[in-house]
Amino acid sequence: MVFSLLFTPLGRYLALSVLAIVLTSCVYFKIRADAIAEIKAAATADALRRTQNAVNAGDAVDVSPDGLLKSDGHKRD
């Protein structure tokens, strides 16, 4: 019954329209998934860059006993 519908002109147009909708949907969801993955990768790279900058800033601090007692220019009690 379904196969006989495909042999009619209306059935062919219906099948082609369903095929076009399916292909368009597949392309849309593929592009969307790629965009989401790209945004997540950019966010992860940004978080890693921030973490690395924080680690580098922490490593640059002079924590020697003499360095901790040096004046940093701020007036304190």
Q: What is the pLDDT of residues 42-64, one digit of tens each?
A: 999 999 999 999 888 887 776 77
* Domain span holding position 2: 1-41
Q: Is residue 33 part of a domain?
A: yes
Q: What is the mean pLDDT of the chain?
A: 87
In a domain, 72, yes or no: no
23 is a domain residue: yes
Residue 5, domain member (yes or no): yes
Confidence of residue 72 (pLDDT cuts 50, 70, 90): confident
pLDDT tens string 28-47: 999 999 999 999 999 999 99
Q: How many domains does the chain have?
A: 1
- How far are the Cα atoms of 6, 8, 11, 16 from residue 1, in angstroms, in the given order? 9, 12, 11, 18
